[in-house]
Amino acid sequence: MSLQSVAQQMVAPGKGILAADESSGTIEKKFAKVGLTSTEESRRDYREMLFTSPGIGEYISGVILYDETIRQKADDGRTMVSIIESAGILPGIKVDQGTAAMDVSPEEKVTKGLDGLGDRLKEYAQLGAKFAKWRAVITIGNGLPTDGNILRNAQDLARYAMECQKAGVVPMVEPEVLMDGSHTLDQCVEASRRTLKILFDELTRLGVDITGTILKTNMMVPGKESGKKATPEEVAASTVQVFKDILPEGLPGQAFLSGGQGDVEATENLNAINKMGPFPWKLSFSYGRALQDSALKAWNGKKENVTVAQQVFLKRAKMNSLATLGTYTGEN
pLDDT digits (tens, 9 = 90+) for 98-144: 999 999 999 999 999 999 999 999 999 999 999 999 999 999 999 99
Contact 236, 230 (CB under 8 A): no
Distance, CA of 57 to CA of 115 (rounded, Å) = 34
The yes-or-no answer on residue 297 being catalytic is: no
45 pLDDT tier (thresholds 50, 70, 90): very high
Task: Give the type of residue at 71.
Answer: R
Domain boundaries, the chain: 3-324
Return the pLDDT at 332: 74
Return the pLDDT at 215: 99
The yes-or-no answer on residue 73 being catalytic is: no
Q: Is the pLDDT of residue 196 over 80?
A: yes
Nearest CA among 209, 240, 332, 279 for reference residue 11: 279
Whole-model pTM: value is 0.98
Mean pLDDT confidence for 9-29: 96
Q: Is the pLDDT of residue 327 over 90?
A: yes
Distance, CA of 184 to CA of 315 (rounded, Å) = 32
Return the pLDDT at 83: 98
Peptide bond into 91 cis (omega under 30): no
Distance, CA of 187 to CA of 205 (rounded, Å) = 27
SS3 of 193, please? helix
Catalytic residue among 94, 130, 216, 282: 216
Catalytic residue among 22, 108, 174, 202: 174
> Average pLDDT of the chain?
97
Distance, CA of 133 to CA of 10 (rounded, Å) = 12
Contact 251, 290 (CB under 8 A): no
Task: Give the type of residue at 296.
Answer: L
Per-residue pLDDT tens digits for 139-163: 999 999 999 999 999 999 999 999 9
CA distances to 71, 196, 203, 309 from 287, rounded to whole Å, are 22, 20, 24, 17
- Domain topology for 3-324: TIM Barrel (3.20.20)
